[in-house]
Structure 1
C-alpha cells in the first residue's frame, strides 16, 4: 500500500489533527500538493513522522509494520471519531492485528470504547473415531457459536453468547427438531484498580480447572461464577465460587433405589496463582473444593472432596513450548475401585511439547505437538474436559500427537491421534486408539 493512500484513509478518521496553521515538517511535500493538508494534519497529530523526520517520500511502498504503527496512533484518537470512522479503524486494526500485537498494541483495546459493540463467532465441523465405540454412529458433528461484546462505560464490559452445542449429522430431522440453542456466555466484567483488577460475574463458556496455562484435564466448559482476578505483568491471582453446567459435574435427574432425585450442579470454590517470567513462560498452582454430597454419594459411590494441581509452561528457542501439569483428586472416602482398593486419592501427569504456532488470522501458520498422559483410576471426575480426548480418561497411559494448520485467514484444520494407549493397572483390555479431525472457522 502506498503511504499516500494510507495517509488519505487515516485522514478521513477525524483523529484529532485540527490545527489549520501547523507547519509542514516535510521538505518533499509542496504546499500545492493534493495531500498537503492531510499530511500536515497527520504529522501534527503525531500519526506520521516521515522517513527521517524531514522527508515524507509519498511514493515509497511502506511496510506492514509502518502501516500498523499509523493504525495504532489512530486508535489512540478513537474517542474523537464518528461511528463510521471507528468502523474504518476497526477494519484496519483487524487487517494489521498480528503486526499490532507484535508492536505491543492490544487490538482488544478497540473493544474498550463506550458504545462499541463487536459481534464475533466461530463454527466447527468435527470427526471422531475409536474402533468398536458406540459413538462411531455419531462420528461427524457440528457446532456454531455467536458472541456480542459491548462496553457500558470505560470500566464495564458485557458479553453475551449463544451456542448450538454439539449436534451429530446422523440425527435424522435434527435440524427441525432441535430447539436447544443455549446461552453459554452471559457475564459482566468490571475493571478497576488501574486496570490490573477485574471482577467478573455471570456465565462463562470456558472455565478451565488449571488456570490460563493448565491442560484442563478435568473440566473446561460452561460455568456460572463470581470471580475476582488480579493480572499483572509478572503475577496473576484468581479467586472465585461457581457451579458446573456441563457433563457429569452438572448433575441432572437421577433415580436411585426407586427414589427420584433432581441433582443440581456441583459447586466449587477455587483459587489460582501464577508467576510470569517473560516470553510467555509461566508457573502456577490451583485448588478446587467441591460441594454436592448427594450427587457424589449416589452417582460415584464416594464423596469428591477437593482437587489441587500445579503446572509449568516454558517457551524456549524461537518456536518451542513445553507444558507440564500435575493434578491430584481427593475423596472423603475410598474410591471404591476394584483396581486401586481403598485409596482416597488419584493423580494424573500430563506433558505436551509444541513446535510453532497456528494463528487463525495468519494463513500458512502451523504447529505440531506431542503429549503424554498418565492417569490413575479415579483421577478423572467426569467433567467436560478441555482435552481433545473423550470417553474414559483415567486408569490410562497414552501418547498423542497432532497438527494445526491455518489454510486461509480465520480458517484452520486440526488433526489429533492417540497411540501406545494401555490400561495402567488391572487386567482390563487396552483401549482402542482415538482419532479426531476438525475444521474451525472464525468470523
Structure 2
C-alpha cells in the first residue's frame, strides 16, 4: 500500500487535530503538495512519525504492521471522532484485525464506544444434558425429571475512561436462566456482577470492587475451582517476562436460610467465604506461560472449620506451552487442604489433588470468521478438591469431584462475533466411595458478542 494513498484515507482519522500552527516535520513534503495539510495533521496528532523522524517517503510501500500501527493510534482518539470518522476507523480496524491483535490492541466492538464510555456485552444460548445418576450422598442428578437442558444468559458492560490510567466498569447480568416447560424463563432477576475501578500503568495495576469472574490460577489455568461474583482489592506488578499478583476478597454468591447457607445444593456454600491470594507468572516466547498460585480461605474472619465450606487452603501450578502457531498444551495441578468437618470416610487424607491436561489445535478468534479450534482434555480429581461455586470449565459444576474423565470439543466462529461450540465427555469413572460412575455430559452453545 502506498503511503500517500493511506495518508489520504487516514486524514479522516486525524480527529481533533489542527495544523494551524503546526510545523511540517518532514523535509520531503513540500508546502504545495496535495497531501501537505493531511500529512501535517497526522503528524501533529501523533498518528504518523515518518522515517527517521525527518522523512515521509510518500512513494514508499508500507507494511501491514505499519498501517495497523496508524490505525491503533487513530483508535486512541475515538472519543473525538465524528460518526463518519468512527465508521472509517471501524472499517480499517476490521481490515487489520490480526495485526492489531498481535500489537495487543483490542479491535472488537469499537462501534459501541460513545464519548468516553464503551459498551460491550454477550449473549449465550446453551444446551446441556446428562443422564441421571446417584452420588455418594444419595442425591440424584440429571434425568428427565430434573431436566434443565436449555438456558440463556445476557450480559452488558459499560466501561468509562476516567483518565489515561483509570477506568470504571459497571456490568449487568441475567445469570444462567433455565427455560420452563412452556418455553418461558424463570428466575429472571438482573443483578450487577461487575462494579470496579481499575488503575493501570505499564508496570503496575490496581483494581478495586466487584468482578464477575474470580478464577483461581489466573486467566491461563483451567479454572476448575472458580468463585463467580467476587468483591476484592487486587494489585499486580508486571514486566515483559513476569507478573506478580496479590489480593484479598470475599465471594458473593448463593443464598442463605436463617443466616446459614442453604442445603439445597453445594453450589451455594461459597457465599461469604473470604480468601487472600497470590500468584507469580512467567512469560516465554511464542505466548507460552507458567505460574504458581496460593489461596488461604476463611469464614467469618477465622480459619475454615464448618459444615458448609470444605476448603482450608489451596495451592496450584500450571504451564501453558505453545508449539508453533497452532498447538497449545496446558498442564494444571492443584492441592486443596480440607477443613476437618468435611473429611469423609472415603477421603484418603487431609487434602485432595487435581490433575488436568488439555491439548488444543487451532485458535477460534471472535473477530476472525471461519477460525476454529479443536481440543481434548483429561481430568483426575480426588473427592473434596472442588470447593463449590461456579467453574470456568464447560462441565456441570457440581459433578467435577471424585472422577476421572476425558473430554473433547470444537469451537467455530461462523460469523464475526458469533461462535458455536460442541463439547462431550467420555470414559468418566468414579474414584472413591460407593458413587456409581457418572453418566457422560453433552453441551452445545451459541455465543454472540456485541
Aligned to 1:155: 165
* Structure 2 unaligned regions, length at least 5: 133-141, 264-268
| Contact kept? 1:249, 1:265, Cα under 8 Å | no
2:193 maps to 1:184: yes
| Residues 1:296 and 1:438: Cα distance change in structure 2 (over 3 Å) | farther
TM-score with structure 2 setting the length = 0.81
| Contact kept? 2:226, 2:389, Cα under 8 Å | yes
Aligned to 1:398: 405
2:311 maps to 1:304: yes
Aligned to 1:359: 365
Aligned to 1:91: 90
Name the SS of the counterpart of 1:221 in structure 2.
coil
Aligned to 2:153: 143
2:295 maps to which of 288, 292, 306: 288
The separation in 2 between residues aligned to 1:352 and 1:23, in whole angstroms, is 53
| Contact kept? 2:356, 2:377, Cα under 8 Å | yes
| Residues 1:24 and 1:380: Cα distance change in structure 2 (over 3 Å) | closer
The separation in 2 between residues aligned to 1:250 and 1:119, in whole angstroms, is 37
The separation in 1 between residues aligned to 2:8 and 2:225, in whole angstroms, is 53
1:286-327 residue CA offsets vs partner (Å, 9 max, x unmatched): 111111279852335xx5311111111111122111111111
Name the SS of the counterpart of 2:364 in structure 1.
coil
The separation in 2 between residues aligned to 1:277 and 1:157, in whole angstroms, is 29
The separation in 1 between residues aligned to 2:262 and 2:33, in whole angstroms, is 85
| Residues 1:428 and 1:137: Cα distance change in structure 2 (over 3 Å) | closer
| Contact kept? 1:128, 1:436, Cα under 8 Å | yes
| Contact kept? 2:422, 2:443, Cα under 8 Å | yes
The separation in 2 between residues aligned to 1:248 and 1:433, in whole angstroms, is 29
The separation in 1 between residues aligned to 2:204 and 2:227, in whole angstroms, is 23
| Contact kept? 1:138, 1:169, Cα under 8 Å | yes
2:48 maps to 1:47: yes
Name the SS of the counterpart of 1:153 in structure 2.
coil
Output aligned runs, 1:19-418, within 5 Å: 22=24, 37-38=37-38, 42=42, 47=48, 54-56=57-59, 65=65, 67-75=67-75, 78=77, 81-82=80-81, 84=83, 87-88=86-87, 91-92=90-91, 94-95=93-94, 96-103=96-103, 105=105, 116-132=116-132, 133-134=142-143, 137-170=147-180, 172=182, 174=184, 178-191=187-200, 194-247=201-254, 253-254=260-261, 265-292=272-299, 297-299=306-308, 304-333=311-340, 335-340=342-347, 343-390=349-396, 391-418=398-425
| Contact kept? 1:160, 1:183, Cα under 8 Å | yes
The separation in 2 between residues aligned to 1:434 and 1:250, in whole angstroms, is 31
Aligned to 1:423: 430
Aligned to 1:259: none
Query: 1:47 offset after TM fit, Å?
Result: 2.8
The separation in 2 between residues aligned to 1:40 and 1:46, in whole angstroms, is 10
Over the aligned positions, Cα root-mean-square deviation in angstroms equals 3.7
| Contact kept? 1:163, 1:182, Cα under 8 Å | yes
| Contact kept? 1:307, 1:327, Cα under 8 Å | yes
2:445 maps to 1:435: no
The separation in 1 between residues aligned to 2:93 and 2:78, in whole angstroms, is 18
* Structure 1 unaligned regions, length at least 5: 257-261
Query: 1:241 offset after TM fit, Å?
Result: 0.9
| Contact kept? 1:415, 1:438, Cα under 8 Å | yes
The separation in 2 between residues aligned to 1:82 and 1:395, in whole angstroms, is 56
Aligned to 2:266: none
| Contact kept? 1:252, 1:263, Cα under 8 Å | no
Name the SS of the counterpart of 2:390 in structure 1.
coil
The separation in 2 between residues aligned to 1:269 and 1:249, in whole angstroms, is 23
